[in-house]
Chains A and B, each alone.
Chain A
Amino acid sequence: MSRTIIRVDMAALSVSRDVVPLEYELLGGRALTSRIVNDEVPALCHPLRRHNKIVFAPGLLSGTTAPSSSRISVGGKSPLTGGIKESNGGGDVSARLANLGIKALILEGLPDDGALHVLVVDKDGVRLEPGEAYRGLGTRELHRALHAAHGQKIGISCIGPAGEHRMQAAGISNSDQQGEPGRYSARGGLGAVMGSKGLKAIVIDDADAEFELKYADKDAFRDAVRLSAQAMKEGAITSELMRKRGTHINEYIDEVGALPTRNYSTGRYEHTPTMTGWTMYETIRDRGGEGRVAVGCSKGCLIQCMSIYAGKDGKVLSQSIEYESGVLLGSNLGIDNWDDVAVLNDLCNDIGLDTMETGAALGVLMEAGVLKFGDGPGAARVLEEARSGTALGRIVGMGADGVGKAYGVTRVPTVKGQGMAAYDPRGIKGMGVTYATSPMGADHTAGFTVAPEVFGLGGNPDPLSNQGKDALSRDYQVGAAVCDSLGLCAFTGFAAEQQGQAMVDMVNADYGTDWTATELNELGRKALLVEREFNKAAGFTAAADRLPEFFREEPLAPHDAVFDVSDADLDAVYDIWES
């Protein structure tokens, strides 16, 4: 039984199966979603009308025993950026789809009647079921209801009220191996697209799947997995550091002076010493109860970067708070304690909002004076308004750009309409190049130059230097696209150096290819070029590859740095391939 592509017509409420075309066989994850979106979605379409599509695609290695290989790619035209989007997410949804032999799941069309449905995917097939009973539910209650209806052993990709409200900051939640929501395909508003298609949730039950993965060379694959696992165990970060303090690198980014603080107004935060991963994990351990550390989102993950944050009463206050969320809902809002951050993180997860876009939006809202910096409870009340869809709630649901326009604020940290990540580009200039030039909009995983510039991994370029950052960002953008196409967690990039060889070996042993690092990089590079092609057709020019004006003109303390990478260097990132 070979893999299939599932198409769901949300207008006709019908499902069909396609054979995988030859030209898609060696594509997966982001390489596949971007290719399908570019092939099938008219670049000028309205993202919330019937011509847009949502493509869910497991990575090339998803469903195998490769360590940390259950990342899912969700693609479409973004209502937030107006360009192509690949929203990468964790959890175990990807492995489940791969176990069922599904190469891609494509949602097409729009229901005429606005009715809500749930899509059920299992060994018997794919079918739509009525979903009106779930209208308005937050992801937590939705999970409970779906577990009651379909059992505990399912994967769920779903939207909260934000997606139903068609908010541009709405994401798609993917469930983790504990069955909890919160591993988000968050960026770019694909939750709104799913809402426009009238789909509240996708339920995936891979029990007794008929599909059987046939490796080209089973023994070689096993050897390659062993090499990868060894690399995980030998890397200090992948073998223990993440289990000890999660993804939180606040003190490092603060120390180099690039920590977004009070809406990107300064690069150091006076409360960082009490807001690190160490203090968070200490609090979780001290409180006991339902709190947990060193949790993995998918089966077999050795890195286990997640935690479960409990309140003073020992009850869960939030599923895993990540670094990005912790900063954008923390220092960026002048919030000085993990409890307030946890409340906001949990609200975003339940309402179905991207924590990063929401953090950026709330920062702009505070700059506008609607809330005071530091007002955690006030921010929580605003997010409840987003849940119920009031005018203020909807403004925040538009993301940082929308809030900026509504209130006349000009310090708005976005590119192509998408909010930035927890690294000020004036303090880490390679990140500024990635933010400006990635086809995704301002995005950190798209080209994570923090690794060399701050962590000293794979080089030691000065984060404050404006030289050579075009080449640096380009290399990391290709690397990210490779990772995203294989379905591997980006943190496998912190493993020991054997991981590079293991990646190539795993692909070759699985698919019978004869690739070296060159062909693997080509997979990533081609995905980027496809995305650039879509964006160009959608109307993007070089003007879209720029940072907001204030980053060039407002010096950031403590280094008094401005973003001064030249426009020529920004254009050079892709000119090298396109001119």
Chain B
Amino acid sequence: MMNVNVMIYPSFLRRIAGRTRTDGRVALQIADGSSVFDVVRALGIPEDIVKVMIVNGRPARMTSALADGDTVGLFPPLGGG
């Protein structure tokens, strides 16, 4: 098993049962060799609403492999600025 820190922002939080915090940092334990997709599935977030994934500050994909201690950010489609 390995530990990852997941950043989930409010628009997703409401879809995850039992989560009410606005600060979306969640520590998660998942199997070695897991990918971003495995994290999304473990948290029960519908994968089609996750459009931007950032791992350790670098843009990533659903298939990106994770390592122990990684930070994973999960975001809806982005636009603005």
Which residues of B have CB within 8 Å of A277? 80
- Classify the interface of chain B: helix, strand, loop or mixed: loop
Count A/B pairs, Cβ under 8 Å.
95
A248 to B79, CA, bound (A): 9
Nearest chain A CB to B34's CB is how many angstroms away?
20
* A148 CA / B48 CA spacing, docked (Å): 52
Q: Complex formed: what's the CA distance from A352 to B28 in Å?
A: 48
A323 touches B77 (CB 8 A): no
- A251: chain B residues within 8 A (beta carbon): 7, 9, 73, 75
Whether, in the assembled complex, A300 has its beta carbon less than 8 Å from a beta carbon of chain B, the answer is no
Checking B9, B10, B79 against A494 with a beta-carbon cut-off of 8 angstroms, the contacting residue is B79
| B54 contacts across to A, CB distance below 8 A | 252, 255-256
Beyond A273-B23, A462-B58, A462-B59, is A252–B79 a contact (Cβ under 8 Å)? no
Q: In the complex, A235→B77 CA distance in Å?
A: 9
Residues of B within 8 A of A494 (CB): 79
Chain A residues, Cβ within 8 Å of B25: 273
Interface residues on B, range: 20 to 34
Q: Is A28 an interface residue (CB 8 A)?
A: no
Q: Closest Cβ of chain A: how far from B63's Cβ, in Å?
A: 13
Task: List which A418-472 residues lie within 8 A (CB) of chain B.
Answer: 421-423, 444, 448, 450-451, 453-457, 460, 462-464
Determine if B59 and A463 form an interchain contact, defined as CB atoms under 8 angstroms apart: yes
The 8 Å CB contact of B76, one of A241, A279, A323, A448, is A241
Contact A246–B22 (Cβ < 8 Å): no
Q: Residues of A contacting B76 with CB < 8 Å?
A: 236, 241
The answer to whether the Cβ of A206 comes within 8 Å of any Cβ in the partner chain is no
Asked if residues B81 and A450 are in contact (CB atoms below 8 Å), the reply is yes
A242 touches B58 (CB 8 A): no
Contacts of A244 in B (CB 8 A): 11
1/0 contact trace for A331-364 toward B, CB 8 Å? 0000000000000000000000000000000000
B 16-60 binary contact with A (CB < 8 Å = 1; else 0): 000000111100000000000000000000000001101001110
B11 touches A252 (CB 8 A): no
**Do A456 and B80 touch across chains, with their CB atoms under 8 A apart?**
no
Contact of B80 with A247 in the complex, beta carbons under 8 Å? yes
**B residues whose Cβ falls under 8 Å from a Cβ of A:** 7, 9-11, 22-25, 51-52, 54, 57-59, 73, 75-81
